[in-house]
Structure formats: structure tokens, C-alpha cells
Structure 1
Amino acid sequence: MLLLLYPLILSNLYSLTNFFINSIPYKARFSGKCLNKGMDVDAHLLPKSTKSANFRLCNVSGYKSEILEIHAVAPIMHVLLLPGNPGMASIVCLLMFSLFFLFFLKKKKISEILYDQLEGNASITAIGHISHTRKNWEHGRLFSLEEQINHKVDFIREELQKNEIPIVLVGHSIGSYIAIEIFKRFPGKVKYCVGLYPFLTMNPESKTQLVIGKISESQILSIALCYVIASLGLLPVRALRFIIRNSVAKSWSTDAVDATCSHLSQYHVMRNVFYMAMTEFRKFAEGPDWTFIRERKAQISFLFGDDDHWGPLHVLEEISKQVPGITVAVERENHTHGFSCTEAGSLWVAQHVANLIKNQTSLTMQ
């Protein structure tokens, strides 16, 4: 009887927790041919062999952190990818590979300064949030939005600050807000900041945000719901994968479904997801820092979705009103807030980001 209820439970959890799990398993490998879906990419430009990201655990200010990275031979920039909430490093890995292939295999069409070899000129790193990990390294401790921001700041200081290479920040959802906060602390190091489907302020018209806010503010409701979600992990993997595939993830890639099974069925992950959401909602009562965005508008860009309650178009209009001349765009290809659940969505967004960075690099080189 309980098994029959799981599709209904999962469907509701999708609405409640913004189930945009864009993840892939660790040490995953991607074939170039799988990236030729839904984008204008020449087939002969795609790689003949696979390219794998390096996964590693590292200590950042004493906290276990999951890192995925692709190293270039002679990078002239370092792209740091910041996921939303949930915030596993692997959540943006398809985007990472798409960016890698676009930069390094379409370089002649993207930028004249990208050199003429298959190896590219930008290293790419994705860093996950503390305790949004498969293993409960922090023993149930909960981390706020501010603590997650400080975690990324410490990572830059410990691993990237000494390099002379400039940083490009690419944030998704709440990761866009985190990227701006990082930019404020490293104004000389960060050269460009891109917000994808940005969650920057509350949307009073969103029933989903209202429900999540109520749940996250109630410790009883939050704990109860996390136990329900964690109970899914008791199912055999094949059964859980089948349920997810046939309920909330019909269009997702196999890797995204597998990662959902391995990560979001963890109690400590979901507790941190709701706790972080609670602190996000409280923080957003203050509104965006328009002064900083105005000062750095030439180095900040946003991509909104056509129908995204986390980053609705009225926020785009407000940004354009508050910061005239800032670069904003709207994705109208139906890729949704969870774009990197699919290969086509990841590649489309990567193309957009690559073009933004190319344009910014061209301006700074003039």
C-alpha cells in the first residue's frame, strides 16, 4: 500500500522542494555525441573520445566539500559553477561538460583569443554546498545561506586566490545570489558574474514558495517531511528509480534519476535543503543590493526562464528598471528552471553562457 503511494508523494515533493536535480554520478564520463541534442553544434566539432571530470573531497575551513573540476592546460580564466538548492557539486556537471566542449571545440566561432588546440583555456570547477553530500560528513549539522556563502569564499581564498587567473562566476538559482555576494568580496579577482534562472527575491505570487516557506519555518513539519523522503531510500534502487522515472522525472536523463536516488533520499541532505531555504527566505526580506549591481552592471548578466516562479519575469523588469543597461535575457526554449536535468537544456544554457563570456572577454581585451 505504501509503495503505491510513492508516486503521489514524489509528485508533491517535486512541487514542494523544487526537485531540479541536475546531477550525475561521481566520476561520470560523457561522450561528445550525447551533447549534440537540441543545439546548433556541428557534429564534426564534437570530441571523438570521452572527457572525464575529476571528483575530489577537500577540506574547506574544516568542512568536507565535494568538488568536480576540469583542468585546462594553460587557462586564462577559471569558471566557478555555483549550484542552487539542493546544492550538490554534480548538480551542474552536465553544464560543466557543455561549457567545456563549447569553449574548447567551438573556439574559432566563439572567441579569437581561444587558442587553436583541442585543449581549452578555461578551467572549470563546481563546488557543492556543505552537507549536501551523499555521506553525512557533518553529522547532522545545519548550515544557513550565509554559512554556505562563507564556505565558497573560503574555497576561493584557499585554492584560487593565489592564482593570477581571473574568476568567472556562474550561479544557478540561489547560486546567482551567492555569486553576487562572492563578487562583492573579491571585486578585483572576479571579472564576470552570470546568474542563471536567478532566485534573488521572494515571489509573492508563487504558491510553491509559500508552501516551502511554511514547511521550512516549522521544525516539526520539516523533520517529518525529511523522514518521509528518507524512507524512499529504503526501497531497492531499481524500484526507486522506476518510481521516480515514472512520476517526476519522465524527461530527465538516466544519470539525473540515478543521482536523485543516491542524494535526495538522504535525511541530512533534505534537512539542510529546508534549513537553507528558510534562511534564504528570511534574507530576501531585505531585497537585492541594487547599489553594487549598478556599480558592476558591465560585469553582471542574468538569464531568466520564460515561466519560472523562482525567477519570474517581473524580477527581470525590476532589474532593468533599477539597473538600466544591464545584460538580461529570457530563455524561451522550454528548458525550465531545472535545465540541466537534460542534456539539451545544459547545452543550450552553456551556449548562452559561453557567448556572454566571449563578449565580455572581447570588451576587456579592447
Structure 2
Amino acid sequence: MSYQTQNKSYIHILAIIPGNPGIAEYYKPFEKILEQFTKSQYKIHTLNYKGFQDSEQDRLFNLKEELAYKIEQIENLIQSYRKINPILKLNDFKITLLGHSIGSWIAHEILEQKPNLEIDKVIYIFPFLHKDKSSMIQNLLGLILRLPFLDKCILRLYQVIRRLPDFFLKIVLNSKLKAMNDQGRYVTWKYFIEFKHILKSIFFLAKTEFQILPNQLQIDSFEYRLKDRYFLYNTNDMWAPESSLNQLKLRYMDLNYSLFHGSLHDFCVTDEGNQWVSKEIIKILTLK
């Protein structure tokens, strides 16, 4: 399965980098739609996070460690294909990075830090690239993460909720789960109820996100290979505000972007969200 361009056949890898929580299983319906549309021309892989494995973890992982792990995963993918076909070289691969939320920041950093990787495109889906001081929810979350006693209270409450009988758990989680597709409900129940480390991993990763991400969008950082960058925003997003897109449009007249109307940040857990976003991704992938 390869991708043909300019008389050369490439192994084209589409690497999906999740948001926080970095649970790859949430993206399975999204993967399936992309596979159907691309007719298996792309090797599609969703890269999980070290801190969100389906087993108990003995430590927490920060944002920079997760970035390093994504680079390691991509390099291992390339090596696995080269083991199957030893004549393949690094320049026989084309990699499209598809980052969602904080995964967009990771994709952005991979493009900047790893020029040896054959990155073809970077697609930013509702990207969390900087802190937004005008966001009440971001400010509240930042406060919780800065105050250890609040953090601990929430984590203790979470452990109590996890131990409730299934009947009561379904009542507690119903408002959240009913908006999800079947896969979203299954994954949420599996990870958040069965594995006690998940919420702690979310908080720790989020804490390091708030420590590392700048207070303002770093406009100039997108100039390098701008034509290979594609941005998806929506009109109601506390992590990827439309104002950031407006800044990018003002700075770069030839910016590649799409703007959805509504709130789609958690697109991967709804059938409608997966359909809308995947259609836009397919359009981008067909561009030469």
C-alpha cells in the first residue's frame, strides 16, 4: 500500500496525535472513516500517550516526555516497515501529522525539531497552542492545577465515584455519556472506571501544558513551510479560540484553513463530529 506522486511510490503514514486524554481508542471510528475514503492508500496510526495506557502506571508523564514518545513511535513505525522491506530508505516515506488539541502542539514541535523526518503535511485540528487569558474555564482549570489541595480533593472524589455500583455510576455519568457514540461510551467506561491513574494523568499532563504553552499565539513560528500546514477551527472552542485563527489569517494571507460552526472540540466521540472532520481531512489529503 503506497502513495504515488511525481512518478515515485511512497509509503505514506498518517499519524494521528490525540488530545488530552491521549487515549488512542477514542479515535477508532475516525480511523475507519479515513481508511474507507483513502482506500488504504495511507498507513493510518493513532499514537497513544505513555500516561494513558490500558494498564496501571507507576509514574506520570509530562508534555515534553509525551512529545519525545511520539517521535519515538513515528521512528519505530518507519523501522517496522523497513524490516518488512529492507530496501526502503527514509526518503521513501511521507508522513502526515494530524494533531488534535494539544496533539497539534506536539505535531508542530515535531515538524520544527525533526527535519530528518519526511513530514509532508501537518494538520491542526482545533489546536491548543497557547493559553487564553480571556477563557473563564481555562483560568479556572489553571487555578485548580496550581492549588494542590483542590487537585487532591477532585482526585479523591474521583476514586470514590469509581467504586460506586454500576447502576449509580451510569446515573452519574449519563449526562456525559449520552452525547457520545458507542465507542466513546465504551472507552470512557473502560479507562476512567477500570484504571485509577487516568484522571491523575490528565491533571498532570494538563499542568505541564499550562507551564509550557505560551500566553500568546507564536505567529512567526508558522512561517516555515506554511503551505504544508492546514488549520481546522470551530466557532465555539475554549481551547482553540476563533480569535487565534483570525490572527493567523491576518498574518498569512494564503493560510490553509477551515472554520466549522458550532462546538466540535471533542469531535472523535460523536458520529457527526467524525463525519464532518474526516470529510475536511480527506479534502486536505487529496491536495498535492
Q: Which TM-score band (shorter chain)?
A: 0.7 to 0.9
SS in 1 for 2:97: strand
What are the residue-to-residue correspondences of 1:64-79 with 2, within 5 Å? Answer: 73-74=1-2, 76-79=11-14
Partner of 1:184: 112
Counterpart contact for 2:60–2:204, Cα < 8 Å: yes
Distance 1:238 1:156, change over 3 A: same
In structure 1, which of residues 123, 127, 130 is the aligned counterpart of residue 43 of structure 2? 123
Shift of 1:198: 0.8
- Distance in 2 (CA, whole Å) between partners of 1:314 and 1:238 is 43
Shift of 1:239: 3.9
TM-score (norm 1): 0.69
- Structure with the larger helix share: 2
Tell me if 1:302 matches 2:222: no
TM-score (norm 2): 0.87
Partner of 1:254: 182
Tell me if 1:351 matches 2:271: no
Partner of 2:87: none
Q: Deviations 1:153-210 (Å, cap 9, x if unpaired)?
A: 1112233265522110001111111111111123351110001111111111211111
Partner of 1:103: 38
Structure 1: 5+ residue stretches without partners: 1-72, 105-119
- Distance in 2 (CA, whole Å) between partners of 1:287 and 1:264 is 32
Q: Deviations 1:209-262 (Å, cap 9, x if unpaired)?
A: 1111111122222222122123222123454234322x2233211321222122
- Output the amino acid matched with 1:280: E
Tell me if 1:82 matches 2:14: no
Partner of 1:264: 192
- Output the amino acid matched with 1:159: L
Partner of 1:155: 73
Distance 1:159 1:255, change over 3 A: closer
Counterpart contact for 1:229–1:264, Cα < 8 Å: no
- Distance in 2 (CA, whole Å) between partners of 1:263 and 1:230 is 13
Percentage of matched positions with identical amino acids:
23
RMSD: 1.9
Q: Deviations 1:101-123 (Å, cap 9, x if unpaired)?
A: 1212xxxxxxxxxxxxxxx2111
SS in 2 for 1:267: coil
Shift of 1:152: 0.5
- Distance in 2 (CA, whole Å) between partners of 1:335 and 1:349 is 12
Distance 1:262 1:227, change over 3 A: farther
Counterpart contact for 1:99–1:347, Cα < 8 Å: no
Partner of 1:20: none
Shift of 1:288: 4.4
- Distance in 2 (CA, whole Å) between partners of 1:130 and 1:93 is 18
Structure 2: 5+ residue stretches without partners: 4-10, 83-89
